[in-house]
């Protein structure tokens, strides 16, 4: 128990050491989550765009809903 307390106190400099490691954790989490969320958002956008095209194509009576790239 005392050993654990000593570990976290870092010789009385725990605030500095652990806040630095917290920023590190924050940067890791940012680089994991931000691109993931952005890609999901892009996937939703692509799906919405595609559905809009398909309904448009149905209305105009086109055979394929896909617009050439």
Partner 1 sequence: MMLRYLHEWGSPPVFYQRAGRWQRVLWTLAALLILAGLWGGLVLAPADYEQGQVYRIIYIHVPAAWVAMFAYVVMAVTGAIGLIWRLKVAEVITSAGARTGASFTILALATGAIWGQPTWGTWWVWDARLTSVLVLLFLYLGFIALENAIEDRRNAARACAILALVGLVNIPIIHFSVYWWNTLHQGPTVARLSAPAIHITMLVPLLLMALGSMLFYAGALLSWGRALMLERERSSRWAAREAGV
Residue 34 as a binder of partner 1 (CB under 8 A): the answer is yes
Q: Which two tokens stand for residue 57?
A: 């194509």
Find out whether 30 and 44 touch, Cβ atoms under 8 Å.
Answer: no
Residue 43 as a binder of partner 1 (CB under 8 A): the answer is yes
Residue 30 as a binder of partner 1 (CB under 8 A): the answer is yes
Task: Considering only CA atoms, give the Rg of the chain.
Answer: 26
Instruction: Pick from 5, 46, 58, 60 the residue near partner 1 by CB under 8 A.
Output: 46
Q: How far apart are CA 12 and CA 9, in angstroms?
A: 5
Cα 3 versus chain centre, distance: 37
Residue 11 as a binder of partner 1 (CB under 8 A): the answer is yes
Instruction: Give the nearest distance from C-beta 60 to partner 1 in angstroms.
Output: 18
Instruction: Give the nearest distance from C-beta 41 to partner 1 in angstroms.
Output: 8
């Amino acid at each position: 128990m005392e050993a654990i307390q000593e570990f976290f106190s870092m010789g009385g400099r725990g605030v500095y050491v652990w806040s630095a490691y917290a920023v590190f954790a924050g940067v890791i989490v940012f680089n994991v989550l931000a691109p993931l969320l952005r890609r999901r958002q892009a996937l939703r956008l692509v799906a919405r765009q595609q559905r809009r095209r398909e309904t448009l194509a149905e209305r105009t009576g086109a055979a394929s809903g896909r617009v050439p790239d």
